[in-house]
Structure 1
Amino acid sequence: MNLSFHDTFSLVQKSITSLQNPNNQVDKENVIEKSRKLVLRCYNALASQQELSGVQVASYLMNWDDHYTTHKFRGLYLIQTERFLQSELNEMRAKQNLQSTSQDVIDDEDIFDDETIIEENNDEEHFQVQPAGDKNNFILVNTRVDYQYRSNNLNNTCLYDFVSTFYKKKINETDIKYLSKSYTTEKRQDNQKGRPSNERFFFHKDHPQATTHLLMKYSEAHVPVLYGPQIPRQDRDDTRERYNRALLTLFVPWRNVIDLCDINQTWEDALESRKHRISAHSWKIIENIQLLHECKKDRDEHLLQVIAEAQVDNDSIDPAFLPSNQGADGEHEADDIDDLIQLIGSVDEFTAATINATKKSTENVYIRETIEAVEKVGRFNHMN
């Protein structure tokens, strides 16, 4: 770091003031800790009092973001949409059972057994309270409602692409002009100057905000971020139905649950019969989801290998250092970041004793080297 003279002078002045301040001197602190705190105070002084660049000033005045990312993101509560579809399917099956007088009651362990689908949390579906068309009433809407009642021109758009590509906005005069029948495609092309206008679509007439809002296409596609429990691994039997239901919800176009799963189908059979409706782009995303799980598995297996190598005196891994869902045979079922935190914590506890043992010896070496350097100067030879 190159510092100007006035910056260097100010830094030296603050260092001397800090050393002379009795509040900053603690007898119990060792030499290394005092040095570390001095450097930290100098750094904080430089960071807080240095002059701002022109780029920083312009960014604040223009109200620009203070960070940059290669992509833009948008959240999606996937598990709540899944739960809505599951409840709709369960109601239809219950009605069918009541109407079936010539058949036996379906057994609880038959294909309608929904207990095999893991419900990770019991939160109800989230809604936003927004004003209705008359401005005196309010309605409940969310992304699922917007998707279900999208324009008929977007019938072949899946939920993932819908969240990535479109957003809801209030209708203004520009939108009405763009969507008016008299404003034809030819006129748009003739009068177009600069960047082309973003596409706009009216909601279906059954949407509660069909008269006041519309769908507008992003200038750049956003990356959907799935809130709540993530999509499970493909090869886990206990979450297979949840996995198939999640893929159908995200990547197969639908307006109601019948578009995704028939009454007499399991979610696994429904996905198998609707694979042809999933686009090539969506299949790439599905492959990446599974690849992410494989990377997590390899990561945790590597940490277990590190633990095993640290225990060279034992023939097996100490169970105390294994996460709760990780067996000594290497079978992996971790799907959550908490498992990694637990594993790292185990490694930290294993090495804490060694670090504490070497801390004092490091301090002694530092002090001894300092004394030797002072003795080599020769300025204190007259002292006994």
Structure 2
Amino acid sequence: MRQCESNLNTINKIITYFARSNTDCTSLLSGTAVKAVISYVTDYISKLGLKSYQAFASVFDIFDRNAEDLDGIGVDEYSTKKLMRQMVNSMSTKMEIGSPMACMYLLENPDHYPSHEFANFAWRTYVNFVKRYWISQLNIPEGMKEEVPEDMIKLQNERGTLVGASIVDDYALRPLIYSGLNLYEWIQCHQKKELNNKTKAVKHLFIGDHKQRDTHGVWCDFSRLDNIIPNFMGGAIPRSDRGDREYYCMTVLTIFKSWRAPSDLKDKDSTWDQAFNEHVFTARQRELLGHFNLRFECNDARDDHYNTMKQKIREGQSNYSGKLPHNFADKDEEEDMNDLLDDNDLQEGVNDEDPPVIGKRTREQLKEMDEIRDILAGAKWLSKTTDGLLPMQTERINPPFKTKTAWMNIVKEQRKKLLANKLGGMEEADSGNDKTHVGKLDTVKELPFDYFKPKPKILGDENELMKAKCCQDFTLNTEQIRAFRIVADHVSSKQPTNLKMYLGGMGGSGKSQVIHAITAFFKMRGESHRFMILGPTGSTAALVNGSTYHSVFKV
């Protein structure tokens, strides 16, 4: 329910309970706004990996940037690692892998937990096969016929012989027992395997002159109809409400009508639209057709929503001429998307007929500008002086001139000193003589009862006092103390193993404060070398006063 107080609309008790952290939500009172958000979220979740040209462009940029290093006679191992590191960082940045996803990979956990499985469906291959057949039936000269891409034939080595396998032949020449399956159901439930003595009895053979009739069999598991979703590859299917109606009808009939030859889909003298209207679709098929068009409806709503909000901004700009930036209304839609979606005033303007107003953020900026202008005017900084400008005596600063190589050497020396300070507390003894953290395995030691408690007191009261002091000095809250205690108690135990821990939360939830407290705890124990703060980029490492992983590990 929308609250009268605008600030209350950014808080939702249910969302806060499930997120267990500070959240910022927005009340969407427009169907157009809801569809726009759905389009944005689904595109972000289902985004694909890097395109081939994007990956090659990243590699080319790295080589072009390091052309001087590659001009030499030979490339050493360090330069090779440097190039590989830069390529990986460049492509990782463009893939927009977030910290939760990276943590999933490091902890060897699955990156997603779907309730359904997906089967690749190259729908254009089947549609082009049907289209080529009907074009060949037209009495049109060869030079004037529409060109349709040929099918891609996959060559397989079967018992020393190259055999061309076609997915169109797999469906058109499917076993007779599966004649009633349409293409959509075939993609969901069919499985093709090579024949052997164990499986020959349970598999059905292809018919006709199928190239793999003697080597492969197929069977359909109809239970897969409930949890297998065809993944349409090769672009989205055509729209039902605009564009080429004949092509849309041909595509739908190819997918949802059972056929073995293109001539089974329609009569020679009828159009695709007539065949589409004559075919009786099931309730499930009509539901799927509605889902196919949902993506286009969301994209249209997103575009209409953006256009409406940008028009609202332009109208508000005309009422505040001279106060808004000249390019405010011409910014890129993708860059302003989050700002626009978070603007309650603009969203309210989509449904009602309120007078044009500017956005909340812009109104706050104008208010701050007016406050600064009043302060400057009160200090008479904006008043013109009658005495003219006072003479100013400035001392010329001559910075030291050094070459690029000299500056790089200075940076390297400082980096070495910094790493040496971090590793200063590390003992020089080898692992066999290290008595600080590794105990003897051939001795019996009496352990106190506190050792088996969730919060062991291994080093006595002094260690507990250090933990309490860190919690107090950094003003940790309950959740922060729990995260800090997990690390501190693990470090205090005898022969600690590797601790893999993910510290998640939104921006401002206090993750950096926990890291600072852990750093101080290691420093109090004189074991700063046991805890290193690393980041993938320089900016992320600087936020927590750490280092980049490639500078520390020399990768």
If the length of structure 2 is used for normalisation, what is the TM-score? 0.37
- What is the rounded CA distance, in whole Å, between the counterparts of 1:264 and 1:166 in structure 2? 33
- What is the rounded CA distance, in whole Å, between the counterparts of 2:183 and 2:298 in structure 1? 26
C-alpha distance 241-314 of structure 1, shift in aligned 2 (>3 A)? farther
Aligned twin of 1:220: 224
Which residue of the other structure, out of 270, 283, 289, is the alignment partner of 2:292? 289
Does structure 2 retain, via aligned residues, the 8 Å contact 1:321–1:343?
no
Q: CA deviation at 1:164?
A: 0.9
Does structure 1 retain, via aligned residues, the 8 Å contact 2:189–2:220?
yes
- What is the rounded CA distance, in whole Å, between the counterparts of 1:72 and 1:300 in structure 2? 31
Aligned twin of 1:344: 334
What CA deviation, in whole Å up to 9, does each residue of 1:89-145 have, x standing for no partner?
Answer: 121233xx79xxxxxxxxxxxxxx987xxx9xx65322211235xx23212223211
- What is the rounded CA distance, in whole Å, between the counterparts of 1:285 and 1:322 in structure 2? 38
Amino acid paired to 1:126: M
Q: CA deviation at 1:348?
A: 8.8
C-alpha distance 205-301 of structure 1, shift in aligned 2 (>3 A)? same
Aligned twin of 1:151: 175
- What is the rounded CA distance, in whole Å, between the counterparts of 1:266 and 1:114 in structure 2? 18
- What is the rounded CA distance, in whole Å, between the counterparts of 2:294 and 2:189 in structure 1? 24
C-alpha distance 227-114 of structure 1, shift in aligned 2 (>3 A)? farther
Does structure 2 retain, via aligned residues, the 8 Å contact 1:93–1:263?
no
Amino acid paired to 1:246: T
Residue 161 (1) aligns with residue 185 (2): yes
Aligned twin of 1:195: none
- What is the rounded CA distance, in whole Å, between the counterparts of 1:90 and 1:299 in structure 2? 38
Aligned twin of 1:104: none
- What is the rounded CA distance, in whole Å, between the counterparts of 2:219 and 2:204 in structure 1? 6
Residue 71 (1) aligns with residue 116 (2): yes
Aligned twin of 1:232: 238
- What is the rounded CA distance, in whole Å, between the counterparts of 1:205 and 1:79 in structure 2? 24
Kindly report structure 1 stretches of 4+ aligned residues shifted beyond 4 Å: 320-323, 345-351
Alignment of 1:124-273 (within 5 A): 124-132=150-158, 135-178=159-202, 200-218=203-221, 220-221=224-225, 222-236=228-242, 238-273=243-278
Q: CA deviation at 1:66?
A: 4.6
Does structure 1 retain, via aligned residues, the 8 Å contact 2:314–2:329?
no
Amino acid paired to 1:131: N
Which residue of the other structure, out of 84, 99, 105, is the alignment partner of 2:129? 84
Q: CA deviation at 1:176?
A: 2.1
Q: How many residues align?
A: 235
SS of 2:199 mapped into structure 1: helix
What CA deviation, in whole Å up to 9, does each residue of 1:210-250 have, x standing for no partner?
Answer: 111111334634211111231222121x3211111110110
- What is the rounded CA distance, in whole Å, between the counterparts of 1:322 and 1:158 in structure 2? 49
What CA deviation, in whole Å up to 9, does each residue of 1:47-78 have, x standing for no partner?
Answer: 69x9x6xxx5xx7xxxxx55321111111221
- What is the rounded CA distance, in whole Å, between the counterparts of 1:47 and 1:86 in structure 2? 47
- What is the rounded CA distance, in whole Å, between the counterparts of 1:267 and 1:114 in structure 2? 18
- What is the rounded CA distance, in whole Å, between the counterparts of 1:84 and 1:321 in structure 2? 47
- What is the rounded CA distance, in whole Å, between the counterparts of 1:213 and 1:266 in structure 2? 37
Does structure 1 retain, via aligned residues, the 8 Å contact 2:125–2:168?
no
Amino acid paired to 1:78: W
Alignment of 1:310-325 (within 5 A): 310-313=313-316
SS of 1:73 mapped into structure 2: strand
Larger Rg: 2
Does structure 1 retain, via aligned residues, the 8 Å contact 2:313–2:329?
no
- What is the rounded CA distance, in whole Å, between the counterparts of 1:66 and 1:348 in structure 2? 25
Amino acid paired to 1:127: I
Amino acid paired to 2:334: I
- What is the rounded CA distance, in whole Å, between the counterparts of 2:230 and 2:284 in structure 1? 14
Residue 280 (1) aligns with residue 283 (2): yes
What CA deviation, in whole Å up to 9, does each residue of 1:282-326 have, x standing for no partner?
Answer: 2221121123322222222122222122223368xx9x9799xxx
SS of 1:298 mapped into structure 2: helix
Whose relative contact order is higher, 1 or 2, with alpha carbons under 8 Å and at least 6 apart?
1
Amino acid paired to 2:119: R
Does structure 2 retain, via aligned residues, the 8 Å contact 1:234–1:243?
yes
Q: What percent identity do the matched residue pairs reach?
A: 23
Amino acid paired to 2:134: L
Amino acid paired to 2:224: E
Q: CA deviation at 1:81?
A: 1.6
SS of 1:269 mapped into structure 2: helix
Amino acid paired to 1:72: E
Does structure 2 retain, via aligned residues, the 8 Å contact 1:307–1:347?
no
- What is the rounded CA distance, in whole Å, between the counterparts of 1:270 and 1:220 in structure 2? 29
SS of 2:260 mapped into structure 1: coil
Does structure 1 retain, via aligned residues, the 8 Å contact 2:171–2:183?
yes
What CA deviation, in whole Å up to 9, does each residue of 1:165-206 have, x standing for no partner?
Answer: 11211112232233xxxxxxxxxxxxxxxxxxxxx4321142
Does structure 1 retain, via aligned residues, the 8 Å contact 2:174–2:207?
yes
- What is the rounded CA distance, in whole Å, between the counterparts of 1:346 and 1:283 in structure 2? 37
- What is the rounded CA distance, in whole Å, between the counterparts of 1:47 and 1:321 in structure 2? 39
SS of 1:290 mapped into structure 2: helix
C-alpha distance 285-349 of structure 1, shift in aligned 2 (>3 A)? closer
Amino acid paired to 1:158: N
SS of 1:150 mapped into structure 2: coil
Runs of 5+ unmatched residues, structure 1: 1-42, 60-64, 99-112, 179-199, 324-341, 366-384
SS of 2:138 mapped into structure 1: helix
Q: CA deviation at 1:84?
A: 1.4
Amino acid paired to 2:137: M
